[in-house]
Amino acid sequence: MYEEDEFLQLSGIQHFSFCRRQWALAYIELQWNENVRTVEGHLLHERAHDRTIAEKRGDIIVSRAMPVHSRELGISGECDVVEFHRSQGGIPLTGREGLYQVVPVEYKRGEPKESDVDILQLTAQAICLEEMMCCEIPVGYLFYGETRHRTKVDITDGMRAKVREIFCEMHQYFEKRYTPRVKRTKSCNACSLKDMCLPVLGEDKTAKAYIEKMLDDLRWGN
C-alpha cells in the first residue's frame, strides 16, 4: 500500500501507455506544451466537470468531477462522470433510497482509438471506485467528443492486471526520476512535447538540460 504523498496522477496512465518518455517529461521533468489536441481535450473535460450541470435521469444519479484514489495502486485523480444506476445488485448511497450500481464514464476528444490507452484509464478509475466504495464494477463507458457517442467497456480481470503492472512501472520510474529514451515514430507528430523531446531523442540528457544548453548558447552567441 502506498502513502498519500507517494500517489501519482491517475490520468498519467494514458500518457505513459502512449509514450513513456512523454509521461516522464510531463510528470517528472514537469515540461508541458499545449497543442490543438490537448486544448480540445481540456475543453471537453471542463464541460464534463462542470458541477453546475446537474443530472438525474429516472433511476440514474450523476456525479461530476468525483475525486478518487487507490492506496493499492498509489494513485489519485478525478472521474469525469460517475453514474449510479439503481439496481438490486448495487450498493447503498447515503441519503438515497434503494441500491445503486457504480458506472464510471470517461470523456475523450476524437473517436475510439485502436490502442487500449483509454480503456486502461477507465479501468484505473473503476479500481479506485471499487476500493473506495467496496463494490464491484463490471462495466464503464467511454464518451468520444467527435462521434458524440459513448462506448460500453467491460472491466476485465486481464485489463485490471495490466493497469496494476503499468502503475508499478510508473512508480519505479518516478522514484528514480528516470526519463527513458525512445525511437521516433509517426505518433510523435501529434505530441505536444515533440519540440522539446525530438532534439534530444537518443541522447543521454534530459529535456531540461537541452533547454538550458540552448539558453546558454543564445546568451553567449554560440
**Any idea what the CATH number is for the domain that residue 146 is in?**
3.90.320.10
* Within-domain flag for 107: yes
What ranges in the chain are assigned the alpha helix state H?
12-18, 20-27, 36-48, 117-133, 157-176, 194-197, 207-220
What cell was used for 206?
A: 534530459
Per-residue pLDDT tens, the chain, 222 aa: give them. Answer: 999 999 999 999 999 998 999 999 989 988 765 543 454 445 555 555 555 455 788 899 999 999 999 999 999 999 999 999 999 999 999 888 999 999 999 999 888 888 999 999 999 999 999 999 999 999 999 999 889 899 999 999 999 999 999 999 999 999 999 999 888 888 888 787 877 776 554 454 555 665 665 566 556 555
**Residue 16 domain boundaries:** 4-183
* Within-domain flag for 126: yes
Residue showing cell 471542463: 46
* Within-domain flag for 203: no
Q: Give the span between the Cα atoms of 121 and 77, in whole angstroms.
A: 11
* Within-domain flag for 222: no
Domain count, the chain: 1
* Within-domain flag for 198: no
* Within-domain flag for 207: no
Residue 95's pLDDT is: 86
Does the CA dihedral 149-98-78-153 come out positive or negative? negative
Residue 208's pLDDT is: 61
What cell was used for 13?
A: 496512465
* Within-domain flag for 200: no
* Within-domain flag for 20: yes
